[in-house]
Amino acid sequence: MTIRIVTGGIAQETNTFQWEPTTLADFSKGSSEIVRGAEILALAGTGTIYGGIVAEAARLGVELIPTTYGAAVPGGRVSREAFDTLRGEILDGIRAALPVDGVLLGLHGAMALEDADDGEGPLIAAVREIVGPDVPIIAPLDLHTNLSDEMIAEADGFVGYKAYPHTDTPETGAQALRMLVATVKGEITPTMASARVPLIAPNQSMVTTWQSPLKEAIDRARSMEGEPGIVGATVLGGFPFADVPFAGVATIVVTDNDPALARRCADELAGLCWERRERFTIHPTPPAEAIAEALAGEPGSVYVLADISDSGASGTAGDGTVILKALLDAGARSAAVAQIMDPAAVTACVAAGVGGTVELSVGGKHDGLHGAPVEVRGTVRLIHEGSFVQAGPMGRGRVASRGRTVVLEIGGRGGIELQLTDLRGHPNDLNYFRAFGIEPTERRILVLKSAAHFRAAFEPIATKVIEVAAPGISSPDLHSFPYQRLRRPIYPLDPETQWSPGE
Ligand SMILES: [Zn+2]
């Protein structure tokens, strides 16, 4: 008998400091997408979890029964309507597929709802109610998962990404499917332990392209996975831009029927993170200083100025203006900015037409937390419908879009090329420039609104990456956030926090 695995899910990372909710319509806008049935299977070969899951299912000869998978760009809390609608489709799909041998869920792990801090726990619980206690439920998780008790209680196993930027998304999907299939075949009895560390860490300190404190713990998790009895070992950095009680660093270890080993390993990984707590600090450079350094660079050099506090991939609006203002103040040239979200400015540029000159007030309109609007005068060089195919390494083969996109050239040829967009986006791919007629390797300064995902594509072409200090709701300065629901005490908000693994 062919093993039957039903799959579907909801993936969204919620920045609860983003006032604008994520609605059902938002799940179909820009780079967000709801895929159903055979469309899920068509994700084979892409840089998504299903890129790995579909290929692995074929390799293992199991039948994958797709339901609905909704993946939205990070943003505000998910509306009840969006959650209930997608959950309803997934549950209907599972009911129609019964009997099944296992459930593989496509989750992010840090979804909050407009009326609940945890989206994943209730989703898994609802699936459990349908399939019963004996059908295993397993899911891959994003490294930025905020792990809730209900998630752990309702699922049989999780395995998280180990790379940030998330270049191992397909591999993690495949690993989760292997865990599920081995469970169905009776080869393993997944036994899970988790530990939640009283630590929130800025995303920027979790990057694995350098030996960050989180990567040191992840390296140990990787080595654990080669040890007897361990099926999966995960270090979650958590998502700190979420004011939910269970936000922060956590670990998960799945063993083959060995609860003591799972507990010991989960605690060991938690201890590694806790010992390093003072090193989860980021020291960004003031904008003027970063720009001066870039302008003084050797001819042919490329400086990436990362607007790490206004990262669309962390749910900000992406309309921050502080670095643009500093570029204008410095008279910077050969600078390309991806991007400022400002639909009104886009409309004005479209009205002026290609070649037209406009005077505009751009950005700073969404929430007032990312700098004031900035007056610019420039020439409209390009008007684009906005979508393009990503080259990777992250999200390779997927279509990204920020809606209508305009390139406004400020200061004439060789000045500042500012992309204005309808929607927010996360420039993690060279095609965020190339698709719009800008060759990133030929610009002195690239301004990217991205906390870390830009590194996969841009570190290889950058002379230097500078993390720039600007305000915003993905700031590494966690003291700047008005947390109210987060559990306390927690480091670094409560610097005297005492803890040891096993508590
Ligand atoms: Zn993530």
Q: Are residues 130 and 192 in the same domain?
A: no
Domain co-membership, 31 together with 148 = yes
Q: Are residues 12 and 118 in the same domain?
A: yes
pLDDT of residue 45: 87
Q: What is the pLDDT of residue 502?
A: 85
Q: How far is the CA of 239 from the centre of ligand 1 (A)?
A: 8
472: closest CA among 292, 378, 330, 341?
A: 341
Residues 258 and 384 placed together within one structural domain of the fold = no
- Residue of 141, 140, 139, 268 lying closest to 197 (CA atoms): 268
Residue 304: per-residue pLDDT: 98
Q: Of 137, 164, 187, which residue sits at a domain end?
A: 187
Q: How far apart are CA 378 and CA 355, in angstroms?
A: 10
Cα(165) to ligand 1 centroid in Å equals 8
Which pair of tokens denotes residue 102? 């296992």
What is the tens place of the pLDDT at every residue in 262-318?
A: 999 999 999 999 999 999 999 999 999 999 999 999 999 999 999 999 999 999 999
26 shares its domain with 67: yes
Of the candidates 187, 221, 238, which is a domain's last residue?
187
When divided into structural domains, the chain yields a total of: 3
CA of 57 to the centre of ligand 1 (A): 24
Q: Centre a 10 Å sphere on the Cβ of residue 199 and count the other Cβ atoms it contains.
A: 22
CB burial readout 225-237, b (16+ within 10 A) else e? beeeebbbbbbbb
Same domain, 373 and 445: yes
pLDDT of residue 153: 98
pLDDT tens per residue across all 503 residues of the chain: 899 999 999 999 999 999 999 999 999 999 999 999 999 999 998 999 999 999 999 999 999 999 999 999 999 999 999 999 999 999 999 999 999 999 999 999 999 999 999 999 999 999 999 999 999 999 999 999 999 999 999 999 999 999 999 999 999 999 999 999 999 999 999 999 999 999 999 999 999 998 999 999 999 999 999 999 999 999 999 999 999 999 999 999 999 999 999 999 999 999 999 999 999 999 999 999 999 999 999 999 999 999 999 999 999 999 999 999 999 999 999 999 999 999 999 999 999 999 999 999 999 999 999 999 999 999 999 999 999 999 989 888 889 999 999 999 999 999 999 999 999 999 999 999 999 999 999 999 999 999 999 999 999 999 999 999 999 999 999 999 999 999 999 999 999 999 999 87
DSSP string covering 61-93, please?
TPEEEEEEEEE--SBSPBPHHHHHHHHHHHHHH
Task: Please give the Cα distance from 166 to 182 (Å, whole number).
Answer: 25
Query: Ligand 1 center to residue 15 CA distance, Å?
Result: 12
Question: Could you tell me if 431 and 310 lie in one domain?
Answer: yes
Rounded CA gap, 267 and 217, in Å? 11
Distance from the CA of 297 to the center of ligand 1, in angstroms?
Answer: 32
Give the residue from 162, 187, 212 where a domain finishes.
187
70 and 218, same domain (yes or no) = no
Distance between Cα 20 and ligand 1 center (Å): 20
Q: For residue 163, how far is its CA from the centre of ligand 1 (angstroms)?
A: 9
3-state secondary structure of 425: coil
**How far away, in angstroms, is 14 Cα from ligand 1 center?**
11
> How many Å lie between the centroid of ligand 1 and the Cα of residue 331?
35
What's the CA-to-centroid distance between 99 and ligand 1, angstroms? 33
Tokens of 209: 């392209």
pLDDT at residue 395 in the model: 85
Q: Are residues 182 and 299 in the same domain?
A: no
Question: Beta 4-11 vs 102-107: how paired, if at all?
Answer: parallel
175 with 27, same domain? Answer: yes
The whole domain housing 415 covers: 287-475
C-alpha 238 to ligand 1 mean position (Å) = 9
Q: How far is the CA of 142 from the centre of ligand 1 (A)?
A: 5
Q: How far is the CA of 293 from the centre of ligand 1 (A)?
A: 30
In the reported structure, the alpha carbon of residue 382 is separated from the centroid of ligand 1 by a whole-number distance in angstroms of 32
What CATH number should be reported for the domain holding residue 161?
3.40.50.2300
The reply to whether 194 and 179 lie within a common domain is: no
CA of 353 to the centre of ligand 1 (A): 38
Q: What is the pLDDT of residues 22-72, one digit of tens each?
A: 999 999 999 999 999 999 999 998 999 999 999 999 999 999 999 999 999
In this structure, the answer to whether residues 299 and 278 fall within a common structural domain is: no
**Angstrom distance (rounded) from CA 272 to CA 207:** 16
pLDDT at 503: 78
User: Is 353 in a helix, a strand, or coil?
Assistant: coil
Termini Cα distance of the chain: 45
Q: What distance lies between CA 47 and its chain's CA centroid? A: 13
Query: Which residues does 187 contact at the CB level (< 8 Å), separation at least 6?
Result: none
Q: pTM score, two decimals?
A: 0.96
Cα 166 to middle of ligand 1, angstroms: 7
Distance from the CA of 236 to the center of ligand 1, in angstroms? 10
What separation in Å is there between the alpha carbon of 203 and the centre of ligand 1? 9
